[in-house]
Structure formats: structure tokens, C-alpha cells
Amino acid sequence: MQLVIGNKNYSSWSMRPWVLLKGLGIEFEELVVRFDFEPGSAFYRALAPLTPTLKVPVLVDEGLSVWDSLAIVEYIAERFPDKPVWPRDARQRARARSLCAEMHSGFGQLRSLCPMNIDAKLAFVGQRLLATEPSLHRDLARIAELWTDALAQSGGPFLFGEFGAVDAFFAPVVMRVTRYGLPLPASLQDYVDRLQQAPGVREWIADALAEKDFLDIQEPYRDVRGQVPVLKR
């Protein structure tokens, strides 16, 4: 299998299936296609034969292309039924799928206001956003509610016990929370720390930090690498 992804520092959608595959020990080849959204760019040329959406991630398996992170996760679950992509219990699987679907389609303010940027230290941006954007507080409160309920029911260490699709889907949220200094209840800090140290997540973070590819189009708050105390937005 081959997983086609974008820049690891920025591509939250790519992160989800990548860390799931790594975390479950499923072998695959990665192909990183550098973000470039200019018409006719190498990014679009690479994706054109694989997906009509011209977006990453894309999973390619024996000539079959599967695009969209949630579709990829479902394909992995069917392709590797012995792996705990979803919880073993049917009722818990339904709950886990509900959490992934909510993450997939919701939390628009968190996504738009705090784009994933693993290389950045943007706590000063987070403080400003928290002071001016009540919708960001609502997204964070909902995330805290979902995580608290899941951990209480499963007993941990991950949201549904074993590391699986739900944790992979929320891994980019943890990147945002930690990089923007966003508040969550103290009771969730252990989960945030565990998820950052999960094998696939830890490896993705290391690769993102080593990338050193500054793309202005992905940087609403910085004009160079490193923390810049002048907001572009």
C-alpha cells in the first residue's frame, strides 16, 4: 500500500491515516507531495491520476485509490480486520464512529482559526483568539466533553481503550491545543501526553519538525520560521 500525503507540518488530514497505520504496525510506503496550490503545480499533477478531488491523503492499494481520511480508515479496518481500528464491541464501535464523524465534519472554528502547524509556538496567538472568539471556546468545550466521556467509559489509556481510529482523528487536535496553548481540563492532560507519545504520533511530530519547509500560504500568523510576535492576520 502507498499513502500519499502533504507536508507533515501542516497537513492534519494526512496525519490521521498515517499515524493510524503506524500505530497499528501496518506496513505502507509514504509519498509526500509538497503543498503547492498554483494551477498546474507538481502537487496537482501528482494527484490527478489518483483522486478527482486533487486533495490528500490518498491510499493506493493494488491499483485502487481511496481518498478522504474517513474512507481510508474504513478501508483499513476492512483490509486488516485483526487490527483494532475500531473497538471490538459493536456499541462502542458505533460510538467511536460517531466521534470520528463529528471530528470529520465539525469544529470548524478550531480548524480555521488554528491551522495545524507543528513547528510553530503560537501560544500568543491562542491567547488573542481565546479573548476574541467565543466559538473557539465552544469547540474546545465539546472536545473536552467527548474525551472525558470516552475515557470514563473505556478506562483508557486511549479514548476507547486501545489506540485506534478515534485517537488518530484527534491527534491533529492535540497538535493545535499544544501549539496554540489552548485550555483543556487538567484531567485530560495525561491523555494529551499519551497521544503525543504514541509511536505513530511521535514519529510524525519528529518528521514534521525535521521538514523545515516554510510555506507562506499555510502561515496566517508567521512570516518566518520560529515564533514571530507580529500577527499576519
User: Using one digit for the tens of pLDDT, what is the confidence trace for 112-161?
Assistant: 999 999 999 999 999 999 999 999 999 999 999 999 999 999 999 999 99
Answer yes or no: is pLDDT of 8 > 60: yes
Total domain count for the chain? 2
User: Using one digit for the tens of pLDDT, what is the confidence trace for 72-100?
Assistant: 999 999 999 999 999 999 999 999 999 99
Q: What is the pLDDT of residue 230?
A: 52
* Residue 7 near residue 211, CB atoms below 8 Å: yes
Domain extent for 175 = 90-211
Q: If pLDDT is split at 50, 70 and 90, which confidence band does 224 have?
A: confident
Same domain, 98 and 178: yes
What is the rounded CA–CA span in Å between residue 228 and residue 121? 9
* Residue 22 near residue 167, CB atoms below 8 Å: no
41 phi, psi to nearest 5 deg:
-70, 165
Of 158, 168, 114, whose CA–CA distance to 136 is shortest?
114
Domain end residue (candidates: 56, 79, 102) = 79
Answer yes or no: is pLDDT of 109 > 90: yes
The mean predicted confidence, pLDDT, of the chain is 95
Q: What is the pLDDT of residue 225?
A: 67
Q: What is the CATH number of the domain that holds 75?
A: 3.40.30.10
What is each CA distance from 6 to 14, 15, 54, 180, 229, in whole angstroms?
A: 6, 9, 11, 21, 27
Stated length of the chain: 233
Same domain, 122 and 62: no
Q: Which three cell numbers stand for residue 162?
A: 486501545
Q: What is the CATH number of the domain that holds 115?
A: 1.20.1050.10
Of 184, 154, 183, whose CA–CA distance to 166 is shortest?
154
Same domain, 196 and 111: yes
Same domain, 95 and 162: yes
